[in-house]
Amino acid sequence: MLYRKLGKANLNVSILGFGCMRLPILNGSGSGADIFDPNKAINEEEAKKMIQYAIDHGVNYFDTAYPYHSGKSEPLLGKAVKEYRNKIMIATKLPAWLVKEEKDFNKFLDGQMKRLETHYLDVYLLHGLNRWVWPSMLQLKVFEFLNQIQADGRVRHVGFSFHDDIKIFKEIVDSYDWEICQIQYNFFDENYQAGKEGLIYAASKGLGVVVMEPLRGGKLADRVPGEIQTIWESAKKKRTPAEWALRWVWNHPEVSTALSGVSTMGQIMENLRVASEGKPNSLSGKELSIIGQVKQVYRRMLKIVCTGCAYCMPCETGVNIPLNFSLYNDLFMFKDGEINLLRYNEMLSPEQRASACIECGKCEEQCPQHLQIQEQLKVVHRTLFRQKPAEEVDG
């Protein structure tokens, strides 16, 4: 395993971080949307094996958050790392959008520490800061809270995760003596949200930069379209799509660690192998050109720029927004039309389909990608819905 400094926190962090947002689940459909289903349970035995295997092979940074797996991720991680606590760093996040008054800060932190079965947190991040949440944090005197939890020893290092544009990002970076920031960054989203400009800016201020979505929720590694695979295979050095994507992120010296939200033991084993070569500035100009070609092809295919982060969820009427968008994008990107039509029309309940949207607009307020979700849901339904023949409906 290779290690880098986590900015001014001055911690030696493994370049591969373990993201606990997409842990293996029991009786899953394999769609990836199961992680947002509160009725789906984590496969605890398998998840513990994966986490402990990662620790035994050098991973020392584990990232979770209050809402992951409908609140089940933090307790699972706490159980899995109990015997390894002094060997690893636990990072979790304050659900900033749920904080309504000052006392909520301590209520969430103390509850999360109890879930994680720990007396301190190595890293505590304000979760998902954007232009709507940030003003409320300032109004509630969040800086006083951050100073307090470091002084009393409950938290060793503080930072924030981010989903908005570069202007807001710089404003937040400059507002406090942060040690760490977490941003979305991959070869497809190089100039999206904080992007490369934000990466360099944060690093220049001494912040350790934790990268989330290096594989774009797995979409850059799974079911790769033939046109994309042909480009990958044209390279002299043969790599898997996941390896290409991770190596691209680690090629940036400003990146401290990249979080991989693994769901299988095979994924963590592959990521560990790749991490052994993830040195900064190690990709050649030709290799970077190949990645650029892949990016251009993906850009032509993508219809809705949704990463599946699920900040739009839960929908009060039950619409599974990430899954609807995933089925729609997959129809064009991965050319598996029949299976996506089947999933939409037969596997989704009526309230989960795009057509159940009542246009309340709450999802758009929460979307870090600022998508026009209401209009796009209409397009999804028009594209994927197939009316059953009358004789079939009538039985």
Domain count within the chain: 2
CA dist 143 and 148 (Å) reads 8
Q: What is the pTM (predicted TM-score) of this model? A: 0.81
Distance of CA 373 to the CA centre of its chain: 19
Which pLDDT score, from 0 to 100, does residue 118 have? 97
The CATH number for 127's domain is: 3.20.20.100
Q: Which amino acid is at 184?
A: Q
Pairing of strands 3-5, 12-14: antiparallel
CA dist 310 and 315 (Å) reads 10
Q: Does some domain include residue 83?
A: yes
Q: Does some domain include residue 50?
A: yes
Across the chain, what does the average pLDDT equal?
Answer: 91
284, 356, 381, 388 from 393: Cα distances, Å: 59, 19, 19, 6
| Residues 238 and 108 both lie in one domain | yes
What tokens does 190 get?
């190089």
| Residue 86: count of CB within 10 angstroms of its CB | 6
Which pLDDT score, from 0 to 100, does residue 345 have? 86
Contact criterion met (CB below 8 Å) for 371 and 329: no
Q: Does some domain include residue 85?
A: yes
| Residues 130 and 179 both lie in one domain | yes
| Residues 337 and 261 both lie in one domain | no
CA dist 228 and 293 (Å) reads 9
CA dist 74 and 159 (Å) reads 18
Give the residue from 267, 285, 303 where a domain finishes: 285
| Residues 280 and 161 both lie in one domain | yes
Contact criterion met (CB below 8 Å) for 254 and 7: no
Q: Does some domain include residue 292?
A: no
Q: Does some domain include residue 272?
A: yes
Give the residue from 285, 310, 334 where a domain finishes: 285
Which of 326, 311, 307 is closest to 377 using CA atoms?
326
Full residue range of the structural domain in which residue 361 is found? 321-394
Q: Does some domain include residue 315?
A: no
What SS3 state is found at 276?
coil
Which pLDDT score, from 0 to 100, does residue 265 have? 95
What SS3 state is found at 303?
coil
| Residues 380 and 273 both lie in one domain | no
Residues forming beta bridges with residue 90, ordered by sequence position: 62
pLDDT digit of tens for each residue in the chain (395 aa)?
999 999 999 999 999 999 999 999 887 655 455 666 677 889 999 999 999 999 999 999 999 999 999 899 999 999 999 999 999 999 999 999 999 999 999 999 999 999 999 999 999 999 999 888 999 999 999 999 999 999 999 999 999 999 888 999 999 999 999 999 999 999 988 988 899 999 999 999 999 999 999 998 788 888 788 899 999 999 999 999 999 999 999 999 999 999 999 999 999 999 999 999 999 999 999 999 999 999 999 888 878 988 777 789 889 999 989 889 988 887 887 665 666 787 788 777 889 899 999 999 999 998 988 899 999 999 999 999 986 544 433 33
